[in-house]
Structure 1
């Protein structure tokens, strides 16, 4: 009986390790991919679009973007055209934090469907992760840590 119990515990630990390792590898790969796609200036439309595609927008299936670059504060507005589920059911905070951290001169992100809106500033994002959000673009390891923090909250 003890041998069976030991075998069951070993198998359970092995499965736990495999799934945990997959999640760690996934987070590491995402951090590498996003870090390689970071953007220097919000005015670089194609780079910003590419970064948004890499980050992903969850349940948003169709959108356009507006870049507010004429004067500070510089902003990114994501205009939602279609999405699965309701706007209120979605948590856009992780996406906004990643965008603010990876676009060097971005001051705020706003996601709107015309009726409802979610806005996050650089200061609010920094408070959310307890450090300057702009440091995410300086270190791939720091980016991975924050991605882990945001996805496991």
Structure 2
């Protein structure tokens, strides 16, 4: 009888140890395209999008400008490493936000490096593509990567 109790206690301890190692926490990198067709007034959606984008660890808050059209978003960042990295972050993050948030017309990026305001119209002209037509994250990432390869093209936008 003692062997059975010891075995059961040992089994219980092993199960507790293994269940503690097996985390069922949801993936923090959710499918960002679940926010496709969000509105700029949806604080939760915009915040969740911004927190999944590059340099999210430097994001120091955001504001939604919805009192009158054109609607906009202001993203405040703590310092990034370089101006080039900051410009690439601006392009990447603006592309995602303009693709996912259907009624945002402009986005201002503030940091101690510089302040950039970019419009949806400017970015679509730069890409030569209407961002609302993009339906998958992979398609969007390919578009961004393809266009970030050319430093001269990046500098032309700014």
Which TM-score tier does this pair reach, normalised by the shorter chain?
0.5 to 0.7
2:58 corresponds to 1:61: yes
CA distance in 1, matches of 2:40, 2:119: 14
User: 1:99, CA displacement in angstroms?
Assistant: 0.5
Q: CA deviation at 1:104?
A: 0.7
Between the aligned partners of 1:77 and 1:128, the Cα distance in structure 2 is: 21
Aligned match of 2:68 in 48, 66, 71?
71
**Does 1:147 find its partner at 2:144?**
no
TM-score between both structures, scaled by the size of structure 1: 0.66
Aligned length: 117
Tell me, in whole angstroms, the C-alpha distance in 1 between the residues paired with 2:114 and 2:38. 29
| Structure 1 residue 36: Cα displacement | 1.3
Name the residue aligned to 1:110. 108
Query: Deviation of residue 126 (structure 1)?
Result: 0.8
CA gap of 1:146–1:97, structure 2 versus 1, over 3 A, is same
Structure 1: which 5+ runs fail to align?
1-29
**Matched residue, 1:97:** 95
Bigger relative contact order (CA 8 A; separation at least 6): 1
Distance 2:83 2:61 in 1: 16
1:119 equivalenced with 2:107 (yes/no): no
How far apart, in 2, do the equivalents of 1:144 and 1:112 lie? Answer: 27
Alpha-carbon distance, 1:119 to partner: 1.7
After superposition, give the CA deviation of every residue in 1:12-33 in whole Å (9 maximum; x if it has no partner): xxxxxxxxxxxxxxxxxx8x81
Higher-Rg member (1/2): 2
2:130 to 107, 129, 132: 132
Give, in whole Å, the separation in 2 of the partners of 1:101 and 1:89.
Answer: 21
Alpha-carbon distance between aligned partners in 1 of 2:140 and 2:49, rounded to the nearest angstrom: 17
Q: Secondary structure at the match of 2:47?
A: helix
- 1:60 shift after superposition: 5.2
Structure 2 spans left out of the alignment, 5+ residues: 1-28, 150-158
